[in-house]
Structure 1
Amino acid sequence: MTLLLGLKLFLAPLFVWIISVLQGKYNARMGGLFLGLPLTTGPFLLIVGIQEGRSFAKTAAHGVLVGQLSLIVFCLAYAFAASKLKWGKSIAIATVAVWLSGYIFNLINFSNLGVILTLFFTWAISLALFPKYEKPTDKVSAPKWELPVRLITAVLLILALTGAANILGSRVSGALSTYPTIITVLGAFSHRRNGPKHLVATLHALIQALPITSVIMIG
């Protein structure tokens, strides 16, 4: 249990810290590419694999892929809403979209091949439909308190998901691990502080990076 607790408290915030440092040196779009990496799902599956075994972890990875469908819906809804609305209403619309799509997708009994094909089809469609935006080139400065918020959010998400894995079941817990908690927190602050341009650029880059996570989950 000591090893598992150490993994829970160390791996997720470590990854988030690395991404945050890199994001601060580049523009919003580059930050989105980093955010598209499996920051929370990676540690989650590692911990579940140690805790519950390889078979359970593979099923959870399938759930992560299903959850990515909802993540794409979230990003697309957030981008369209943010282009016209303020940050509060944008988050509300995106949250309803991710919960509703997550509920629907979890009703479908996807095969491994089915979820992969659906995911890449959804990914391609989302890029084709993504709203046009002015690409920001300037760096995005953030207040000092933002990094601790990122770290705490990542830790709480990992602890909640791994603790509830047995209750929720492997597929549902895997899908929930892709709920965009970090993106929601950071996106709201970025939208309020910098306007929609940086947020939409971040979401677009995030979607573009998702195939990397998908390949990792398939492997």
Structure 2
Amino acid sequence: MILLKVVLPPLLILSASLAGRRWGDAVGGWLVGLPLTSGPVSAFLAVQYGAEFAASATDGSLVGTAAQGCFSLGYVLLARQGWTIALLGGTMAYATAGFLFQLLPLSHWGVFVLALLTLSASAHLLPHRTLVRSIMAAPWWDLPGRMLIATVIVVTLTAAATLVGAKTAGILASFPVFGAVLAVFAHRMSGASAATQVLRGMVLALYGFATFFFVLGLCLTSLGVITAFFAAIASTLLVQLGALRFIQRGQMLKTA
């Protein structure tokens, strides 16, 4: 179990990061919108604490999904003020939204609908007419740093899950660490428009993120852990393919 926690998350992050560098900022944002850390966290929670505990954590992950939409919108609205202020504003938006949303007396279906509505509002409000395709040259420590952060998140949250509770663990695991890192790099190297492109790609990818945890929460206790994860992954891939085509179509229109 320890070996899997140390090996699996960094490998997922490495693969996604290399693909993002190959195909550009928006696709990079789409990739970091995948449940690359929160997905493994859910798997380890199910193995260590049982299917019911992991199912409860999916509600927190859906709350975190909605809060990620708020993070992206908060960052972009403050992007012209510099990346430091934008990152602080996005983080505050995430924390505030996560705190308020988790107080709502919603069922699993209700939290899923909340996530979809919040993402739709964020996607609508995020600027998308100034996006340009670019490939970022990240510093040498970028990939090792992402891999280390992913490992620390997975190990720490699975160890502390019983202390903070299933729902809080889901919310914490959903904070867009890699989306924030990618947005800041894009912001520093190419300006506010590039950061907006990253976060718009991430928001569009979060529909698949929400689908993953919605299906997972429905199936964990009824179908078993392995079947539930297969169903969640398959559902996510279908949604993600649609989001990727939407992003690529937007890039083609901008370069036409």
**Shorter-normalised TM-score: what interval?**
over 0.9
Aligned-residue Cα RMSD (Å) equals 1.3
Partner of 2:42: 45
Partner of 1:215: 211
* TM-score, normalised by the number of residues in structure 2: 0.80
Q: Which runs of 5+ in 2 are unaligned?
A: 216-256
The more displaced of 207-216 and 178-187 is 178-187
Secondary structure at the aligned position of 1:189 is classed as helix
Paired amino acid for 1:124: S
Is the CA contact (8 Å cut-off) linking 1:32 and 1:203 kept in structure 2? yes
Partner of 2:23: 26
CA–CA separation in structure 1 for the residues paired with 2:206 and 2:168: 19
CA–CA separation in structure 1 for the residues paired with 2:62 and 2:126: 21
CA–CA separation in structure 2 for the residues paired with 1:142 and 1:164: 32
**1:1-219 correspondence to structure 2 within 5 Å:** 4-82=1-79, 84-219=80-215
Task: Spell out structure 1 runs of 4+ moving beyond 3 A.
Answer: none
CA–CA separation in structure 2 for the residues paired with 1:70 and 1:134: 24
Q: How big is the shift at 1:60? A: 0.8
Q: Which runs of 5+ in 1 are unaligned?
A: none
CA–CA separation in structure 1 for the residues paired with 2:92 and 2:129: 23
Secondary structure at the aligned position of 2:68 is classed as helix
Whose RCO is larger (CA < 8 A, sep 6+)?
1
CA–CA separation in structure 2 for the residues paired with 1:202 and 1:186: 7
> Deviation string for 1:172-215 (max 9, x for gaps)?
11111101222223322321122112211010011001111122
Partner of 2:222: none
Secondary structure at the aligned position of 2:69 is classed as helix
CA–CA separation in structure 2 for the residues paired with 1:6 and 1:130: 40
Q: How big is the shift at 1:133? A: 4.5
Q: How big is the shift at 1:145? A: 1.3
CA–CA separation in structure 2 for the residues paired with 1:137 and 1:185: 18
Paired amino acid for 1:215: T
CA–CA separation in structure 1 for the residues paired with 2:63 and 2:71: 13
Aligned residues: 215
Secondary structure at the aligned position of 1:39 is classed as coil
Paired amino acid for 2:147: L
CA–CA separation in structure 2 for the residues paired with 1:29 and 1:185: 14
Give the share of equivalent positions with the same residue, in percent. 30
Q: How big is the shift at 1:115? A: 0.8
Q: How big is the shift at 1:52? A: 0.3
Paired amino acid for 1:139: I
CA–CA separation in structure 1 for the residues paired with 2:64 and 2:22: 30
CA–CA separation in structure 1 for the residues paired with 2:135 and 2:168: 37
Q: How big is the shift at 1:87? A: 0.8
